[in-house]
Amino acid sequence: MAQLNFGGTEENVVTRDEFPLSKAQEVLKNEVVAVIGYGVQGPGQALNQKDNGINVIVGQRKNSKTWDKAVADGFVPGETLFEIEEALEKGTIICYLLSDAAQIELWPTVKKHLTPGKALYFSHGFGITFNEQTGIVPPADVDVFLVAPKGSGTSLRRMFLQGRGLNSSYAIFQDATGKAFERVIALGIAVGSGYLFETDFRKEVYSDLTGERGTLMGCIQGIFAAQFEVLRAKGHSPSEAFNETVEELTQSLMPLVAENGMDWMYANCSTTAQRGALDWWKKFRDATKPVFEELYDSVATGKESQRSIDSNSQPDYREKLNEELRELRESELWQAGKTVRSLRPENQEVEA
Ligand SMILES: NC(=O)C1=CN([C@@H]2O[C@H](COP(=O)(O)OP(=O)(O)OC[C@H]3O[C@@H](n4cnc5c(N)ncnc54)[C@H](O)[C@@H]3O)[C@@H](O)[C@H]2O)C=CC1
Ligand SMILES: CC(=O)[C@](C)(O)C(=O)O
Ligand SMILES: [Mg+2]
Ligand SMILES: [Mg+2]
């Protein structure tokens, strides 16, 4: 474990240097890792573990689209792909990767198979932290921990294939075997994490729910829409409004931020832009901060988790979500975006 200084605070991190894949393989060599659920995180984590030489099986409902996907991805029915209960029985480490709402329904079945010494692995602090809402209370004689990749399962897999690694947080809720630390870190490395930083279940879920509702997904769509609407109302064309709101950000400026920080991105823009950005950013911070305070409270009081459980456990939740996504897709903003994306040279048909 290394101690690193993050802007003035020392924190524990585990890197691939101190915990290489060979060590993860050694720790997991007698384990059967059962990945339950094959939605977004399931495939990323199962495939990365498979490619990393870990003994991984998938548990999924037969006659489902995702069963077929697991087969197409190389999992073999009866060998490495099983009905959920069979996988639960075979697994010594259970990676519980159903959607957070679905985890509630299957919990009694999972619990039945958590015999002493097994490990229960999550990729989110949701089920355990909000156990009054989820009913997820594991027996005392199993290890309980999490590795939460900080990004989509799709990115986890893509970055692995590119030889890169998404960073993840890890937390131990219960160490029944005395081996929870080496087990959780070995899994974190095996699923393709670039490095792992320490957290606990409550902090993981509070920060994750805040982030995805905030700057990562909810807030960013909100400020995109606000700026786009103002530009359109002032007579700017959709292409101009989209380019100045989204395209330039994702294609030109955010890669610079990712590479070397905000000041470096600013420094690579005009002095005119820098003057304006430096003058305006605090105003945006002050305008949005009360909304972030409200958001955090809504997470911490359990309102957000309850809403997620209530809506995502309806039988027609998928159709309803798809309908809301369709509205977003068909908005003028994202329709303009579709045309803009098609114009990127790399997306144009190569002329014969
Ligand atoms: N989507 C992502 O990239 C990320 C997800 N996470 C966490 O990882 C976990 C898994 O999330 P996702 O992969 O997004 O899940 P998901 O929404 O893609 O669902 C996973 C699987 O659950 C199955 N399923 C749904 N209802 C079921 C039921 N009643 N019985 C049996 N199977 C059922 C689906 O067929 C699917 O294979 C969650 O705890 C989530 O918060 C963490 C980081 C990112
Ligand atoms: C991708 C991720 O980390 C999220 C946004 O928290 C999630 O999918 O829940
Ligand atoms: Mg999340
Ligand atoms: Mg997240």
Ligand 1 contacts CB of residue 65 (under 6 A): no
The confidence score (pLDDT) of residue 298 equals 98
Question: For position 349, what pLDDT does the model report?
Answer: 74
Ligand 2 atom 3 nearest Cα: 151
The whole-angstrom separation of Cα 264 and Cα 188 is: 31
Going from the Cα of 15 to the center of ligand 3, the distance in angstroms, rounded, reads 23
* Residue 270 counted as an annotated binding residue: yes
Q: Is the CB of 42 under 6 A from ligand 1?
A: yes
Average of pLDDT values for 6-18? 95
Residue 124 CA: nearest ligand 1 atom is 39
Centroid of ligand 2 to alpha carbon of 219 (angstroms): 14
Q: Check whether 323 has a pLDDT greater than 90.
A: yes
With bands split at pLDDT 50, 70 and 90, how would you rate the model's confidence at 337?
Answer: very high
Q: Which amino acid, one-letter code, is at 265?
A: M
Check residue 16 and give its pLDDT: 94
CB contact burial 120-153 (16+ within 10 A = b; e otherwise): bbbbbbbbbbbeebbebebeeebbbbbbbbbeeb
Q: Which amino acid is at 250?
A: T
Fold of 214-346: N-(1-d-carboxylethyl)-l-norvaline Dehydrogenase; domain 2 (1.10.1040)
Pinpoint the residues of the chain covered by CATH 3.40.50.720.
Answer: 2-199
Distance of alpha carbon 287 from alpha carbon 73, whole angstroms: 47
Does the beta carbon of 125 lie inside 6 Å of ligand 1? no
Q: Which amino acid is at 262?
A: M
Please give the average per-residue pLDDT across 169-176, as a whole number: 98
Q: Where in the chain is the domain with CATH 1.10.1040.10?
A: 214-346
Place of tokens 């823009």: 269
Which whole-number Å values give the CA distances from 318 to 62, 85, 209, 307, 321, in the listed order?
19, 24, 20, 15, 5
Mutate to test the pocket of ligand 1, among 62, 69, 98, 123 (most ligand atoms within 8 A of CB): 98
Show the CA angle centred on residue 128, arms to residues 67 and 99, nearest 5°: 25
Mutate to test the pocket of ligand 1, among 36, 99, 216 (most ligand atoms within 8 A of CB): 99
Q: Which of 35, 36, 41 to mutate to test the pocket of ligand 1 (most atoms within 8 A of CB)?
A: 41
Q: What percent of the chain has pLDDT over 70?
A: 99
124 classed as catalytic? yes
Beta strand 93-96 pairing with 119-122:
parallel
| pTM greater than 0.90 | yes
pLDDT tens figures, 17-66: 999 999 999 999 999 999 999 999 999 999 999 999 999 999 999 999 99
Integer angstrom CA distances of residue 103 from 9, 11, 84, 306: 35, 31, 12, 14
Checking if the pLDDT of 352 tops 90, the result is no
CA pair distance 244, 233, nearest whole angstrom: 15
Q: Closest ligand 2 atom to the C-alpha of 149? A: 3
Q: Which ligand sits nearest to residue 217's alpha carbon?
A: 2
- Residue 342's pLDDT is 96
Question: What percent of the chain clears pLDDT 90, i.e. is strictly above it?
Answer: 98
pLDDT level of residue 317 (50, 70, 90 thresholds): very high
Where does the pLDDT of residue 1 fall: very low under 50, low under 70, confident under 90, or very high at 90 and above? Answer: confident
Among protein residues, the one whose CA lies closest to atom 10 of ligand 1: 97
At residue 350, the pLDDT reads: 62
User: What pLDDT, in 10s, does the model give residues 228-266?
Assistant: 999 999 999 999 999 999 999 999 999 999 999 999 999
Average pLDDT on 305-317 reads 96
The b-or-e profile of 30-40 (16+ CB within 10 A means b, else e) is: ebbbbbbbbeb
Of 272 and 350, which is predicted with more confidence? 272
pLDDT tens readout for residues 260-303: 999 999 999 999 999 999 999 999 999 999 999 999 999 999 99
Q: Using 50, 70 and 90 to split pLDDT, how confident is the model at 98?
A: very high
Q: Does 213 score more than 70 pLDDT? A: yes
Q: Of residues 124, 150, 183, 213, which has the active-site annotation? A: 124
Q: What's the pLDDT score for residue 351?
A: 56
User: Residue 65's pLDDT is what?
Assistant: 95
Going by pLDDT thresholds of 50, 70 and 90, the confidence category of residue 348 is confident
Task: Residue 121: name the closest of 94, 101, 139, 98 by CA.
Answer: 94
Answer yes or no: is 240 a known binding residue: no
Among 3.40.50.720, 3.40.710.10, 3.30.1490.20, 3.40.50.1100, name the CATH number for the domain at 2-199. Answer: 3.40.50.720
pLDDT band of 159, cuts 50, 70, 90: very high
Give CA–CA dist 28/294, Å, rounded. Answer: 43
User: Are 242 and 337 contacting, i.e. CB atoms less than 8 angstroms apart?
Assistant: yes
| C-beta pairs of 235-239 under 8 Å, 24+ apart in sequence | 238/332, 238/333, 238/335, 238/336, 239/336, 239/339, 239/340
